[in-house]
């Protein structure tokens, strides 16, 4: 196999690492954003009921 082909595999390896990492970060942050929104809405609803 040519050294150029080896480079393809090197970039595929690091590409896989970044894809998994950013995919996971995207999952975490989208869930965090949704939860923060829910917390805000529920707090507002509770304070409206009390007020």
Tell me: does residue 24 bind another protein (CB under 8 A): yes
d(CA 38, CA 35): 5
Tell me: does residue 22 bind another protein (CB under 8 A): no
Tell me: does residue 26 bind another protein (CB under 8 A): no
Q: Which two tokens stand for residue 35?
A: 């939860």
d(CA 15, CA 21): 10
Place of tokens 């690091």: 14
Residues that bind another protein (CB under 8 A): 1, 3, 5-7, 9-10, 12-14, 16-17, 20-21, 24-25, 28, 31-32, 35-36, 38-39, 42-43, 45-46, 49
């Amino acid at each position: 196999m040519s050294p150029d082909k080896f480079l393809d595999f090197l970039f595929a390896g690091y590409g896989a690492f970044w894809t998994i990492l950013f995919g996971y970060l995207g999952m975490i942050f989208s869930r965090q954003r949704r939860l923060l929104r829910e917390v805000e809405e529920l707090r507002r609803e509770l304070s409206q009921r009390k007020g």
